[in-house]
Amino acid sequence: MAPHPSYAVFGPLMESNLVERYDIYKRTNINTELQEQQEKSEVLSVDIKVGTRLNAHVGIVHGGIISLLFDTSLGYAPIAYLGEKYNRDLVALTANLKVDFQAPFKEGSSAIIRVFFDRLEGKKKLYFSAILEDADKSVVYAEASSLFILVDPKKVGH
């Protein structure tokens, strides 16, 4: 899952005092068969570190940046879930992203985003959720949920 350099997180924001680390780790034991009502399972995690120039309030990372980190992380979930079917037969587009903030995420912090496959509805709707927490899981900074729509890659110019 090589990041594309035009993505905000890997391009203009990937530098000192902005997004200092964004490392994606895919789970290797994912069942990639498209089945309805499959049990919720973790598909990937992202190890992040933010700098000191992404704030809204003094010392606290802007909620829009947190939303961007979630959107980027959740965007890799269909790729991890679908495996080699992705790009060849299917592409997933974000239809919805909801973020609930729970605790201030302080500048200069490291954290983990854990992404979960929640369910498949029909053959076109993939639901994922994610949690942004500190490494020891003692603080949850935010939670997110998303809906991705599966489409033919030819219809979106892939």
Average pLDDT, the chain: 87
Cα-to-chain-centroid distance, residue 146: 9
Residue 33 is assigned to a structural domain of this protein: no
Domain assignment of residue 43, given as a range: 19-28+39-156
Query: Which tokens hold the place of 91?
Result: 């592409």
Compare 155 and 2 and report the one with higher pLDDT: 155
pLDDT at site 85:
66
Residue 11 is assigned to a structural domain of this protein: no
Q: What is the mean pLDDT of residues 136-152?
A: 94
User: Measuring CA to CA, which residue among 154, 110, 131 is closest to residue 40?
Assistant: 131
Q: Are 126 and 94 in contact (CB under 8 A)?
A: no
Burial (CB < 10 A; 0-12, 13-18, 19+), residue 19, is buried
Residue 148 is assigned to a structural domain of this protein: yes
pLDDT at site 152:
82
The span from the CA of 57 to the CA of 77, in Å, is 30
What CATH number should be reported for the domain holding residue 23? 3.10.129.10
pLDDT at 37 over 60: no
pLDDT at site 8:
87
